[in-house]
Structure 1
Amino acid sequence: MNVLPSLDRAVAYAGAATDQAASSTEAVKGLLGFLRRQYRLILTIVAASLCFGLLYMIATPSSYTATATLIIDTRKNQLFQQQSVVGDIPIDSAAVESQVQILKSETIALAVIKDLHLTDDPEFGGRSGLLGMISGGLAWLFAGDASRSDFETLRRTAEAFSKHLTVRRVGLTYIIEISFTSLSSDRAAQIANAVAEAYVVDQLDSKYKATKRASVWLQDRIKELRDQASAAERAVVAFKANNNIVESGGRLMNEQQLAELNSQLVVARAQASEAKARLDRIQAVLQTDSPESTVDGTVADTLNNQVVSKLRSQYLDLATREADWSARYGRGHLAAVNLRNQMQGIRNSILDELRRLAESYKSDLEIATQREAGVQKQLSLAVTESQATNQAQVSLRDLESSSQTYRALYDNFLQRYMESVQQQSFPITEARVITQASRPLKASAPKLSFVMPIAAFAGLFLGLAVARLRDLSENVFRTTDDVKAVLKTDCIAILPQIEEQKGRPPVAAVLNGPRAIALNGSLYWHVVNEPFSRYAESIRSVKVAADLALRSGTGKVIGFTSSLPNEGKSTVATGFAALLAQSGARTILVDGDLRNPSLTRALTPDANRGLIEVMAGRDGLSQVVWQEGNTGLYFLPAVVAARTAHTSEILASQAMKALIDDLRKHYDYVVVDLSPLAPVVDVRTTTDIIDSYVFVVEWGRTKIDIVRHALDGARSLRENILGVVLNKADLKLMSRYGHHDYYRNEYYNRYGYSD
């Protein structure tokens, strides 16, 4: 189902490709035709340009170019300085290009000019070479020979110096080439080296001046910073005195006291807790009613009490004995009872000792509690004082920071000042010369291998431009395509340029009589005299167009006209009429140019009666018609005794229409030679009597605008044009315009035709 659309697209693509190829071919043909048409002009301009280049080579003196090379060395010399006071610019592409511009600056130029006294050198102060002499002569002619001032001389020398100086960076490296061109090879090398040396000196001088300016500024700034640093330090000391801020070992006194009190408070709290724990334990022992608890209950201090330890030892010994006696003799034995009484006495003694220890523990607890309260009070006072000190320290830190800043700035500026003093004594530049300029052995300009190709290319470009302008400014008819494109009608023939055959003997007259036309070698009879010429063949193409029009019933009366005089319409009309008559058609040629009857003067100079007399009824047609016997052509002359202003009315009259109608009846073709269309209006009045018109245009001469304007003013005539004939064409030049190669001689020679 999709086969047909695909096929349509393929056909469309193929058609587009074919059209594109055809347009490309036409463009190439147009270019080749343009070159064939204008090659003489192009070659002439190229030759003139080459001659001018050769003249320039002869007239221009030889100049020499010497080159010195320096490098912007990024490796700094650190022997006497660590860092530039004024700050070093990083060496990058922009920095190197900046150095190139400095080398081209006027400061360097003036330094070299003054050092080498170039104002006295005629190469710089005067004018040299052909162009210099010409400009000098013009300046002397218009400005006189007034002496120059020193300033003007210096300015002119600097301007000439900058024109001879070339500074460029070598690729993306840090190397810079300094080239100078001079008429003297020694002078060129001397100036190139002088420029490099002046640049190095300028760099050293600029650094020295910048460092000196920095040192002066640093002195004032150091003095100011010293005063500011001293004032800030005095403010810090005064603030500490006013706020009782004392430091010891890098720390504030109140901070040390606060730390010590805090440690004492911790110790006091621990002692109070320990005392309370011992008191609570011993009180718990005392409150127990069990005798074993009294004897066995101990606290840490009872273990170290000798009284309690001795009593407890006695108690344990008695308890052992009492247990032994009770086991032997019973609990009621008197010895066992005495032992238990002794044990009770010892328990009471232990109890009394424990009460004494409890009172001691109670006293220790009270002392520890009082000590804790005292330390707590001192700590609170210290905290209050520390808070006040901390608030003051905020302002103190600001004062100290300001003091330290001023002191650091002072120290830094003092160090930079010392460096600047050192750099003044030892200025160092990054630029150094790596190659001195030497005397060149060969001239750098003018170079034949450079000047002549440039002259040739310039001449070729100018020649193409002039040729193109000439081609566009012609605005004439050259090809049949021009006729079709501009006039929208067919070009039925292109007639070559022909020459009159002078010295040709007249052809023997076939008819003898008072109104017989003699056949001679003039252009009018070229078709008869040279029937195998290309001119005759082109006239035959006009006849073919006329025969086709006659078959349609509209081409029996044919008028020949043109835009301007001398375009050859009368010659074409005569040749066409002779060819018709020679082919057997009964043909009459009418001279309808009543303003300038040139055809009558050429063919029948002895005629004294003609068209006017027939229209007036004074003579019959048979009494005024002439005939050429070899072709059988009839001719009706126009004899005008005096200039007539109303010829257009004569051609538009009923008598003229009646005459043409009468001629239609007696002749197969009526050929009328009319006046030109642009100068007079006669042709515009003939549209009622003429069936069709042949419009003759002189090839390569008649302007397109004139033809277009003439035809636009006669629209009824334009509608009845049989075709356009390009006359007087140069067939050798025809092949240079478009696709007219078929006018070449070999094509016609095969069929027996000749020029």
Structure 2
Amino acid sequence: MMQTYKTGNSIDPGAMPPEFRSPVDPLAEAVSFIRRHLRIMLLTFFVTIGAALLYLVAAVPTFTAAAKLVIDAKAPPTDAASASTMVESQIAIIKSEGLARVVIRKLGLAEDPEFGGRTGGLRGIIRPISRLVGLSKPETEFSVMRRALQSFDRKLSTRRLGLTYIVEMTFDSTDPERAAQILNTVAETHIAAQMEAKFKSGLRDEKWVKDRMTELNGQASAAQKAVVEYQTVDAGKPSSQSTAKMQGDLRELEATAETSAKAYDNFLRMLRYMEAQQQSSNVEAHLLIEASRPLEASSPKVVIVLGISIVGGVLLGIAIGMLRDLLGRGIRISGDDATASSVVILQQGEAAVANQNHAPAAMSPLRR
């Protein structure tokens, strides 16, 4: 029969109270963990570092050019909300599709492979094949322009610098010279469009004002002339021949002349007020800092990529080591349970055999 013996001095480490554990036990466990899984941790570390290096070698560097516009208002807004609205309006105009179309046509970006042009790159190989097999339709000027607009919008960024009237613009490109050229063209196009819109608006307003002034002046002059002519005709007649009807007509002409003169004067006053308001609320954008060729690539960032790969490799190695410990502990527990079950079965079998051996001796007096 198998028997298990346990010495009186044997102590189960797991049954020890927490206060009796040595302070260096966690450090010893950590060192033991590293020793057990050093190979897998090193392998994971070098794999992540290798993947990061491959990414840095294969990734196409992107350069970011920056420029700044200052929003010049003749009379600053009275509250922060008005100022924010004014600056945000300028940002919306810079990011508008109309301005992007002008820049794309001016620089021929629709045919540039970086903006999804017809030629170059992997897409230039896949698209003709897909058209041959009928998977896609032939490209049109509209589709080419839409693709260029989408790429242009992703690469162009604008933001307000704090609470100032300065708008910072950035543009990403694989060519640093191209990035600066496109961004300067965006700024120049925006400023030129504002000046042209202001000039056209001024011409339309000037024409309307001239026409309206001529009309009101003519009405006032005609009414005054009618009064003078009527008074001159009426002066040659005796006063006894003046009838009530003629006096009523004269009063009506005088009222019309007075109304026309007041309308002309009111229009002149309103015109001067509108001109003052327009001059005080006029908003213009000026190029504060011109975009120049960026010296370093903005992405990929080598330090950040390597840092993430190092931290990720260490954490992944630790996670794999912990998983291996958990799996190994589960297998050991299963094995211990099976061994214990076998011992119990053997002990039960031995007990049954012993009972059978003692049974005849107990029954012998009955036989007698």
Q: TM-score, normalised by structure 2?
A: 0.58
1:338-417 map, 5 Å: 402-403=259-260, 405-412=262-269
* 2:333 counterpart letter in structure 1: P
What is aligned with 1:205? 196
- Distance in 2 between residues matched to 1:176 and 1:91, nearest whole Å: 16
Structure 2 CA distance for aligned equivalents of residues 103 and 459 of structure 1? 43
Shift of 1:447: 0.9
| Conservation of the 8 A alpha-carbon contact between 2:191 and 2:286 | yes
Provide closer, same or farther for how the CA distance between residues 64 and 213 of structure 1 changes in structure 2, counting only shifts above 3 A. Answer: same
> Which residue does the alignment assign to 1:69?
68
Instruction: Provide closer, same or farther for how the CA distance between residues 409 and 168 of structure 1 changes in structure 2, counting only shifts above 3 A.
Output: same
CA drift of 1:75 comes to 4.3
1:439 pairs with 2:293: yes
- The 5 A counterparts of 1:218-367 are 218-227=209-218, 229-230=220-221
Equivalent in 328, 333, 348 of residue 496 of structure 1: 333
Among 58, 71, 92, which residue is 2:83 paired with?
Answer: 92
Partner of 2:163: 172
Provide the rounded CA distance (Å) in 2 between the counterparts of 1:137 and 1:204. Answer: 44
Query: What count of residue pairs does the alignment treat as equivalent?
Result: 285
How big is the shift at 1:575?
A: 2.2
Across the aligned residues of Structure 1 and Structure 2, the Cα RMSD in angstroms comes to 5.2
Aligned partners of 1:409 and 1:225: how far apart in 2?
A: 10
- Which residue among 351, 355, 363 is the counterpart of 1:587? 351
> Cα offset for 1:185?
1.4
Q: What secondary structure does 2:217 align onto?
A: helix
**Is 1:151 aligned to 2:142, yes or no?**
yes
1:191 counterpart residue number: 182
Rounded to whole Å, the distance in 2 between the matches of 1:227 and 1:194 is 49
Larger radius of gyration: 1
Q: Which residue of 1 aligns with 2:346?
A: 578
Q: Does the 8 Å CA contact 2:216/2:260 hold for their aligned counterparts?
A: no
Q: Which residue type is aligned with residue 69 of structure 1?
A: K
Q: Contact 1:69/1:176 (CA < 8 Å) preserved in 2? A: yes
User: Contact between 1:225 and 1:409, CA under 8 Å: does it hold in 2?
Assistant: no
Q: Say which SS state the counterpart of residue 187 (structure 1) adopts.
A: helix
Offset at residue 42 of structure 1 (A): 12
Residue 448, structure 1, aligned to residue 302, structure 2: yes
Cα displacement (A) at 1:236 = 8.5
Give 3-state SS (helix, strand or coil) of 1:176's partner: strand
Inter-CA distance 47–212: structure 2 relative to 1 (3 Å threshold): farther
Deviations 1:440-470 (A, max 9, x none): 1111111122345567889999x8xx99xx9
User: Which position in structure 2 is the counterpart of 1:118?
Assistant: 109
Partner deviation per Cα, 1:707-748 (whole Å, 9 max, x = no partner):
xxxxxxxxxxxxxxxxxxxxxxxxxxxxxxxxxxxxxxxxxx
Separation (CA, whole Å) in 1 of partners of 2:57 and 2:166: 36
Contact 1:235-1:399 at 8 Å conserved across structures: no
In 1, Cα distance between equivalents of 2:47 and 2:97:
40
Could you list the per-position Cα deviations for residues 590-639 of structure 1 after superposition, in whole angstroms to 9, with x for gaps in the alignment? xxxxxxxxxxxxxxxxxxxxxxxxxxxxxxxxxxxxxxxxxxx68xxxxx
Relative to its length, the structure with more helix (as a share) is 2
Q: Deviations over 1:363-397 (max 9, x none)?
A: xxxxxxxxxxxxxxxxxxxxxxxxxxxxxxxx999
**Is residue 186–residue 439 contact of structure 1 (8 Å, CA) maintained in 2?**
yes
- 2:345 counterpart letter in structure 1: A
Where 2:298 maps in the other structure, the secondary structure is coil
Q: Which amino acid aligns with 1:406?
A: A
Is the CA contact 1:232–1:402 (under 8 Å) kept in the aligned structure 2? no
What is the CA-CA distance between 1:198 and the residue it aligns to? 0.7
Structure 1 residues 112 and 405: alpha-carbon distance in aligned structure 2, compared to 1, 3 A threshold: same
AA at the equivalent of 1:496: I
Of all paired residues, the percent bearing the same amino acid is 35
SS in 2 for 1:430: strand
Deviation at residue 95 of structure 1 after TM alignment: 0.7
Give the gaps of 5 or more residues in structure 1.
1-35, 77-89, 242-394, 471-477, 480-493, 499-534, 539-567, 589-632, 635-661, 667-755
1:121-143 CA distance string (max 9 Å, x none): 222244999xx74x666655645
Instruction: Work out whether residues 160 and 166 of structure 2, in 8 Å CA contact, stay in contact via their aligned partners in 1.
Output: yes
- 1:422-453 superposed Cα distances (whole Å, 9 cap, x missing partner): x9xxxx96211122111111111111223455
Map Cα deviations across residues 539-575 of structure 1 (whole Å, 9 max, x no partner): xxxxxxxxxxxxxxxxxxxxxxxxxxxxx5xx65432
Matching residue within 414, 430, 438 for 2:284: 430
Change (3 A) 1:459 1:140: farther
For the structure 1 residues 458 and 181, does the alpha-carbon distance in structure 2 shift closer, same or farther, using more than 3 Å as the test? farther
Q: Is residue 74–residue 283 contact of structure 2 (8 Å, CA) maintained in 1? A: no
Q: Is the 8 A contact 1:164 1:181 kept in 2?
A: yes
The SS at the match of 1:411 is helix
Q: Give structure 2 stretches of 5+ with no counterpart.
A: 1-32, 76-80, 233-251, 324-328, 360-368
Aligned partner of residue 185 in structure 2, secondary structure: helix
- What secondary structure does 1:177 align onto? strand
Compared CA separation, residues 117 and 460, structure 1 to 2 (3 A): farther
Q: How does 1:544-623 map to 2 (within 5 A)?
A: 573-580=341-348, 586-588=350-352
Offset, 1:193 = 1.1
- In structure 2, relative to structure 1, the CA distance for the partners of 1:74 and 1:411 (3 Å cut) is closer
Q: Which amino acid aligns with 1:211?
A: G
**Residues 74 and 91 in structure 1, CA contact (< 8 A), matched pair in contact too:** no
Change (3 A) 1:430 1:127: same
Match of 1:57 in 2: 56
Q: Point out which structure has higher relative CO (alpha carbons under 8 A, 6+ apart).
A: 2
Distance of aligned partners of 1:236 and 1:410 in 2 relative to their CA distance in 1, 3 Å threshold: farther
